[in-house]
Amino acid sequence: RDGLCITCGSSIGIARFPYDGDTFETLLNRAEAAMARAKADGRNAFRFADAEVDLDVGEHLRLVSELRAGIDRGELELHYQPIVHLASGRVGAVEALVRWRHPERGLVAPGAFIPLAERSGLIHPLGAWALEEAAAQARRWEARGLPPLVVSVNVSPVQLAQGELDVVVQRVLAANALPAKQLLLELTESSLVGDAEPLRNRIARLRAIGVGLSIDDFGTGYSNLGSLQRFDVQALKIDQRFVRGLADGPQGEAIVRAIAQLAASLGIRTVAEGIETAEEAQRLQALGCDAGQGHWWGDAMPAAVFTRWYAERFPDHAAQVAQR
Ligand code: C2E
Ligand code: MG
Ligand code: MG
């Protein structure tokens, strides 16, 4: 107007369902916070709600193609952390945790690439590979003389919400002749929010196959107690922040006791995560937790290291393992 030139720009904040939130309010708030960062960074930019991977598009695309190539080249590995029954000390299960053996950066932790995989869709091939590898490993251990172990595999909300997880699970079990009860899927609380028909059907199809379900990091997200019963979960993993919280005295204990009692009354097992000391293990058992995992017994380790760890801990099996 009047010969003035007006320049418009835009600052965009991006929040994505279900990764950044599962309610309209959460998504809107996170998108607004991301937009505020785009403005603070000089405007005319976009930012993702997840600041950790707030990369420019070029960097993002480079990392995605690097991860895709890494998956194709077989650079992913599963490491296994023992899950210990607190009362008996027996180990009947392990959790499979993915790592990326990067040619230059060394062993990369999942926190550095799972969010990227979720955003790019690579979580589908990655997740299918993890299920296949974990199932195959469970069978390899049996062939080496270990008793049948349950393998617990982490499943991203994206895998549950899209794609055909039940088809993948069924294929993997059949290909490895692994009984369904030896596979447990670790879902996050946010996976189970809402009781939309499609989600219920997906969960029902998984349960019909016979695999177990557990809720990971319980108590950190949008704890929907109703969903525990509705979705027929077998186990609940008490997040390590509550284990650390035991140091805070009676209040910290009260939270763990309440979770353990609630789970027990619904017939759900509890597994405490991130146990680092003998004292923590004892207190968690006294508070009613069934099982635990953490540095105290052993970190996630390569399959062959776990085989030796197991044989040393349970000498009855050592002889059998040595013979094979
Ligand atoms: P998570 O499933 O809750 O796994 C527990 C994390 O705690 C693991 O970190 C484990 O190494 C760590 N941890 C175990 N014991 C202790 C302890 O005593 N103290 C402390 N401070 N930490 C302990 P990690 O391996 O870095 O995995 C991080 C997250 O990445 C996992 O959390 C899981 O959400 C995700 N993840 C790992 N593997 C996969 C996968 O195959 N697929 C998907 N979708 N997510 C995965
Ligand atoms: Mg887990
Ligand atoms: Mg966890």
Q: Is 295 in the pocket of ligand 1 (CB under 6 A)?
A: yes
What is the amino acid identity at position 247?
A
Q: For residue 146, what is the DSSP state? A: P
Q: Please, is 66 exposed, middle or buried when counting C-beta atoms within 10 Å of its C-beta (0-12, 13-18, 19+)?
A: middle
How many angstroms does the Cα of residue 279 sit away from the middle of ligand 2? Answer: 23
Q: How far apart are CA 58 and CA 165, in angstroms?
A: 31
Q: Is 216 in the pocket of ligand 1 (CB under 6 A)?
A: yes
Q: Please name the residues in contact with 214: beta carbons below 8 A apart, sequence gap of 6 or more.
A: 152, 184, 185, 186, 187, 233, 234, 235, 236, 237, 271
Taking only the tens of pLDDT, the chain with its 324 residues reads: 688 888 888 889 999 888 888 888 888 888 888 888 888 777 888 888 876 555 566 677 888 999 999 999 999 999 999 999 999 999 999 999 999 999 998 999 999 899 899 988 999 999 999 999 999 999 999 999 999 999 999 999 999 988 799 999 999 999 999 999 999 999 988 888 766 788 889 999 999 999 999 999 998 776 677 778 888 899 999 999 999 999 988 999 999 999 999 999 999 999 999 999 999 999 999 999 999 999 999 999 999 999 999 999 998 765 566 565
Total-model pTM: 0.84
How many angstroms does the Cα of residue 62 sit away from the middle of ligand 2? Answer: 28
Dihedral angle at the C-alpha atoms of 236, 239, 240, 242, nearest 10 degrees? -100
* Ligand 1 pocket mutation, candidates 84, 168, 237, 273, criterion most atoms within 8 A of CB: 273
Pick from 143, 261, 263, 174: which is nearest to 214 by CA? 263
Q: Is 109 in the pocket of ligand 1 (CB under 6 A)?
A: yes
